[in-house]
Structure 1
Amino acid sequence: MIAVHSREAAFSEVECDQIVALARASESSDARLVGQQRDHNLRRADLVWVDELPGTAWIMDRIIEVVRDANRGLFQFDLSDFAESPQIARYGAEREGHFDWHADIGDGVVAARRKLTMVVQLSSEKGYEGGALEIMPSANVVSAGRVRGTATLFPAFQLHRVTPVTKGERHSLTVWAHGPGFR
């Protein structure tokens, strides 16, 4: 099984601009962890949920296409749905935006069904410093591509993090594909 998969140009530069503009025009909320708690030592980010934004069906259509292709070709997980809204995250240097080591599969009915994580790079790699998406599929850390529009997919049980943003801001689009529990 492939541990980490990247697909460049999953979203075009214009589409990335549109998604970031939608997020900027919407009210964001402070990132909360599963269970609705805040822990700024673990995560500092502002979130906008795509399902709450008008005119975003095209985003979900693209997500479905990218996840379907990657899963069929590489992961072959038993996926059934997207039980959570995709989120647009903003990690800003003014708050040292980050998300420390964690796995996306977890406690609770919905989080326990997360099987595949997809993170799309919405920002230009020149627009920020730090903010690396790092995945730990084994004893080695893999850094996700920073090319704008690249989708990085990996099993939800793999540890990953976003290192602190030290300059500028990093935007990303994250979604989880769900299915029956792993056996």
Structure 2
Amino acid sequence: MNRMPGLAPVFLAALVGRLSYGTVALALVLTVRDTTGSYTSVGAVLALFGLTAAALAPVRAALIDRHGARRVLPVLAAPYAALLLLLACAGPRWLPLLAAVAGACAPPLGPVLRARLSELLGAGRWSLRGGRPLLARQLSGRVRASVDTASVICSSVRSARAVSRSRE
């Protein structure tokens, strides 16, 4: 098997960094429900988190294109981690604001990993998008991602309302 120099550190860093992505939604659901007792609040907080994460993804990608991932990712990751910790301790009044700001700070590890892999493996042969800058990659899939995000948010809000109504 051919070993690519520099591949293991990039892959391991992205793997560790992306572990929270799968658990953040569940953690938010449990935290907000325990804090407020309302599934409607859960839907609203998740919607704010998802909307700010999706809406500001091109801005974060442009920052990475302009200043580089090594400089921007730590600046995004530190407040993201701190805000997730604050969300676990915050009162009901602060949950929506903290969730929105946390979504705004969510580091775009997936696109950065894909861009770095394109550089390591050769853009012409392995790149899915032909070696375009990260912002171009982010925007090219943005319409599909926005539709997916909107449908998830709408279904979350509908589910939260249905559960809330059934409990009343």
Q: TM tier, shorter chain?
A: under 0.3
More strand by percentage: 1
Q: TM-score, normalised by structure 2?
A: 0.26
Q: TM-score, normalised by structure 1?
A: 0.25
More helix by percentage: 2
